[in-house]
Structure 1
Amino acid sequence: MSQPYAEVIGDPIAQSKSPLIHKYWLEKLGLDADYRAHHVTPEELADYIAARREDPDWRGCNVTMPHKQAVVEHLDRLEIGAELVGAVNTVTRRHNGALIGTNTDVEGFLEPLRERLADKHYFRMARILGTGGAARAIAAGLAEQGFTLVIAGRSVGKARALLEAIDPEGQHHAAPLQHFAEPTDFAFDDREGCLDLVVNATSLGMEGHEPLAFDMSHAPPGSVFYDAVYHPLETDLLKRAAEAGFGTIDGLSMLIGQAAIAFERFFGACPPREDSDAELRRILTS
C-alpha cells in the first residue's frame, strides 16, 4: 500500500534537521506518512521536480540551499509571499499535479518576535547580514513590520538589488559585510522605545564554516541578536552577544516555525506544539 510522503532537498542535505521535526510530529499525531531527506544537486533539480510531479504519493518538499531561487522556474505558480521574496522554501503538489511554491521562512522567522512586535515602537531597525534566499525572506518580513533595513553582503550590489526587489520605496541602506567586522566609535542615540535587531542570514558560523566577523560596537544598546544558523545551536555570534548583555534568538526558532507551516500544507494537520516545542528541542539538540 502506498504511503504519502514529503521531503527536504538541498546540496548538501545530511545536516538537515527537518526529517527529525516532521517525523516527530507525524508520530505524535499517529499519521501514516513519511518525511525524508533527499540529496539533489543543481544539475539534478529539473529531473527531480519532473519525476516528483508524476508521483501521487508525493505531497511536496522543503527547499534548502542552493535551490530556493532556482526551483522557481520549475513550478506552476507562486503564492504572493514567494513572489515578493523571489525565493521558495516549500513546494506543495496539488491533486491535479500542479506544483505551488511558497515561502514559510517569513512567518517562521517572525514567530519568536511576535511578542516584541506587538509593542509600539518609535523606530525599528534591523541589520541583516547576508543577501541569499533566507535574507530576502527575512528582509521582506521585517520591511512589512515597519523596520528600516541595513542589508550587508560581500557584494554591495547584491544588497542593493535585494532592497530594490522587496521594498523599492523604503528608506533602507546597503553596506559591505566587512563594515560590521571592524570596530566603530559611533555614538548611538537614546534607544528607549526602539527595537533593534542584528540578524545573521549567512552560513557563517555554521558547523564547518568560519565564524561571522561582527564587532559588537555596531549593535545599539538593547539590540536583539537573531542567528538563522542552528548547527551549532549557540553560534559564536550568539555566545558573544549574550556575554555582552544582548538578547538572543537561536536558529531552531525559525526552523521549527517555518516547518510547522509546511507540515500543515503537506499532511493537512496542525503539528502538536502544546509544550512550546520543549520536547522537540531536546530531541534536536541531543
Structure 2
Amino acid sequence: MSHSAGVQPRITGRTRLFAVLGDPVEQVRAPELLNPVFAGLGVDAVLVPVHAPADRLAEVVRGLQQAGNVDGLLVTVPHKAAARDFAEVHSDAVRLAGGTNALRRGADGRWYAENFDGAGFVAGLVAAGHSPAGKRVTLVGAGGAGGAIAAALVLAGVARLHVVDVDPERVRTVLRRLSGHADGRVHAGAPPAGAAVDLVVNATPLGLRTDDPLPFDPASLAPGTVVADIVMTPRETRLLRTAAAHGLPVHHGDHMLTHQLRMYEHFFALHRNARPDHPAGQRSEG
C-alpha cells in the first residue's frame, strides 16, 4: 500500500465520494490518512468529513446513500451503534461489537456494515510491542468504540478484562454480547483495589477537548502499566501526558486508525477500482 503523503486529490465529475460522519467531526484523521491512499492506489475517489448532528443522522445518511456516486461511509463518535440501522448486511464483527465504523454500497445495491475499530486497535497494540494476549486489561468506555475493542481484546486472548462505564447498562450490554466468547474472562466494573493490571484503555471521547476531565487517574496505576488512548486529535491527550509524567508507557490513538487503512482498502475493494494505467490497477488481487 502506497502512502503518497502530501498528494492532493484531483476531483472531477467522475470522482467517487466517501464520507466520514461524526458529531463533532473536526477531530477526524481519516481524510488526511485515506486520501493519500486513494492517490497512491490510483483510485479516483475522495474522503470528506461530514458533520452529522445526532438528531439528524438518519437524514444525513439516507441522503448520502441516495447519491449515486457515494460508495462508502466511515463512522465515528457518537454514531457507531446507530449506524447499524443503515445497512442491510452486518458482519460478525458488527454483531459482536454492537456497532459499525464502515459502510459500503455493494454491487447488489445493498449496504454492508463492518467494524474495524477493535481489529485496528489490537493490531496497533501488537505492532507497538504491547500484545494483549494473556494480559489483564481495564477498558474505560463501553460505547461504540469500546464495545468493538472489548470484543477484539477477548478474541485476542486477554486473561482478564474489566469493563467500566458511567452507564452500567452499556457494560451489561457488552458482557451479554461477549458471553459466548469470554469464558468468564470479562467482568463489569473496575478491578479490585490492588489487583494487578497490565493495560488500561480509554475508549471514551474524554480528551477531545482540552477542558475534559481525565477518564481515570494514571497516578493510581502501578509502574509499568500501559496507558492507551483512542482519541486521535490531539495526539498527546491530557491522559497520555499525565501518564507519561508518572513514568508509565503510553500508546497513542492514531495507531488504531493507521492499522485500519489496509482493512479499509480491502473492504472498499480499492485495488479493483484503481485506474488501469496505474501500477495498482495492473497487479493481481492475489
TM-score range, shorter chain: 0.7 to 0.9
Per mean C-alpha deviation after superposition, the further-off stretch among 132-141 and 144-153 is 144-153
Question: Per the alignment, do residues 156 and 111 of structure 1 end up closer, same or farther by CA in structure 2, a change over 3 Å counting?
Answer: same
In proportion to residue count, which structure has more helix? 1
Q: How far 1:221 moved relative to its partner? A: 3.8
- Compute the TM-score of the two structures, normalised by the length of structure 2: 0.80
SS at match of 1:233: coil
Tell me if 1:101 matches 2:103: no
Instruction: Provide closer, same or farther for how the CA distance between residues 249 and 90 of structure 1 changes in structure 2, counting only shifts above 3 A.
Output: same
- Indicate yes or no: 2:143 matched with 1:132: yes
Superposition pairs for residues 1-286 of structure 1, below 5 Å?
1-115=13-127, 116=129, 123-147=134-158, 148-167=160-179, 169-175=183-189, 186=194, 188=196, 196-216=198-218, 218-266=220-268, 268-269=270-271
CA 1:136–1:118 in structure 2 vs 1: closer, same or farther (change >3 Å)? closer
For structure 2, the residue ranges without an aligned partner over 5 or more in a row are 1-12, 273-286
1:275 aligned residue: none
Calculate the aligned-residue CA RMSD, in Å: 2.6
- Give the conservation status (yes or no) of the 8 Å contact 1:160–1:173: no
How far does residue 187 in structure 1 lie from its aligned partner after superposition?
A: 6.7
Tell me the distance in 2 between the aligned counterparts of 1:39 and 1:231.
Answer: 16
SS in 2 for 1:140: helix
SS of equivalent to 2:169: helix
The secondary structure found in structure 2 opposite 1:60 is strand
Identity %: 30
Q: Distance in 2 between matches of 1:215 and 1:9?
A: 31
SS in 2 for 1:27: helix
**Paired letter, 2:187:** H
The alpha-carbon deviation at position 218 of structure 1 amounts to: 4.3
Q: 1:17 to 1:216 in 2, by over 3 A?
A: closer
Superposed CA offset, 1:213-252 (max 9, x none): 5233543442211100112111122122222222211011
Aligned length: 256
SS in 2 for 1:261: helix
Give the Å deviation of 1:6: 0.8
Equivalent residues of 2:119, 2:152 under 8 A apart: yes
Alpha-carbon distance change, 18 to 255 in structure 1, aligned in 2, over 3 angstroms = same
What's the TM-score once normalised by structure 1's chain length? 0.80
